[in-house]
A = this chain, B = another copy of it.
Amino acid sequence: MDDVTRLLAIEDIRQLKARYYRCMDTKDWEGLAKVFAPDAIFDLREVNSVRHPLTGLWEPPYGGEADVHRGHAAVLTMIRDAVTKLITVHHGHMGEVEITSDTTARAIWAMEDVISNAPGEPAMHLHGYGHYHDTYLKLDGGWAIQTTRITRLRLSRG
C-alpha cells in the first residue's frame, strides 16, 4: 500500500470512529447502523472492570460470554437499549491506527464516557475512562468497525 492510500485509510477510520460516538450520543440510529460491519462484535466483558494499579489485576465485575454481542443486529440492539433513555457523552481521544492490509486495520483509542439519567428520573451518574480496542474492515461502502472491545482505567459512580 502506498503512503497516500495509507493516510487516506487512517483519516477515514478516524472519522468513522468520530461518527460512531456522535451517532450514539445524538441517538442517530440510522447513522450508527452504517458504522458497523455485518459480522460486527462488541465485547463488553471488561466494561465494568478496572485494573488495580498495585496488583495489575482486573478487578471484578468481569463479564462473561453474555457480554459479547455478535452480529450487526445484536450490536445495534445492545447500544440502543443501553443508551436510548439516558443522557450519554462518549468521547474518543487520541488513537493509534495501524493499517494491516488493503482491507483491514486495527486501532486503540483513548475514551471517556459520562452517563446519567434523564431529568425527572432517579439520580444516576457514571464517569469512566479507558480505551477502545478495535479492528476494521473495508467494505464496498468504506471502512466499518468489525470488532470493538472496551477496557477501563477508571470508573466512578454516584
- Take A7-B4, A7-B7 as given contacts and tell me if A89 and B18 are in contact as well, using a CB distance cutoff of 8 Å: no
Q: Which of A87-121 contact B (CB under 8 A)?
A: 87-89, 91-97, 108, 110, 112, 114, 116, 118-119
Q: What is the count of identical protomers in the complex? A: 3
A51 neighbours in B (Cβ, 8 Å): 26
Q: Residue A140 at the B interface, CB < 8 A?
A: no
Q: Residue A149 at the B interface, CB < 8 A?
A: no
Cβ-defined partner of A53 (8 Å) among B27, B53, B54, B91: B27
What bracket does the count of chain A residues touching chain B fall in? Answer: 35 or more
Q: Residue A70 at the B interface, CB < 8 A?
A: no
Contact with B along A14-29 (1 / 0, CB 8 A): 1101110110011100
| Bound-state Cα–Cα, A118 to B51, Å | 10
Q: Is the interface of A mostly helix, strand, loop or mixed?
A: mixed
- Min CB gap A49→B, angstroms: 13
| Bound-state Cα–Cα, A126 to B27, Å | 24
A15 neighbours in B (Cβ, 8 Å): 95-97
A110 neighbours in B (Cβ, 8 Å): 18, 21-22, 91-92
